[in-house]
Amino acid sequence: MNAAPPARRATSATAVVSLVFGVLTWCVLPLLGAIVAIVCGHLARGEIRRSQGGMEGGGLAMTGLVLGYGQIVLGVCLLAYLLVAIMLGLSIGLAH
């Protein structure tokens, strides 16, 4: 009658770090946070995959990866926009 509760699987600490730095990259640490979130996210996904169901945290790692890569993409787009704006501004200024 008294069935034992199912064993609780451990959550990957690396996945938690990835998520925390993924959030921090949008608030406080734009480039550094993104790099840490991406590296830890990939490490966590490998760790979870190798555990063969013994660990949880795949969603945390994926969220950290998405936030980190999103920040990198946004930064590259902003940099490209600024470079184009500078180039167009210089070309217009030189023409007159």
State pLDDT tens for residues 37-48.
999 999 999 999
Residue 93, pLDDT score? 58
Domain boundaries, the chain: 11-95
pTM: 0.82
Residue 94, pLDDT score? 56
Q: Is the pLDDT of residue 5 over 70?
A: no
Residue 95, pLDDT score? 54
The answer to whether the beta carbons of residues 42 and 1 sit under 8 Å apart is: no
Q: pLDDT for 50-90, tens place per residue?
A: 999 889 999 999 999 999 999 999 999 999 999 998 888 87
Tell me the average pLDDT across 8-12.
87
Residue 1, pLDDT score? 58
What's the one-letter identity of residue 16? V
The answer to whether the beta carbons of residues 57 and 11 sit under 8 Å apart is: yes
CA distance 28 to 76: 18
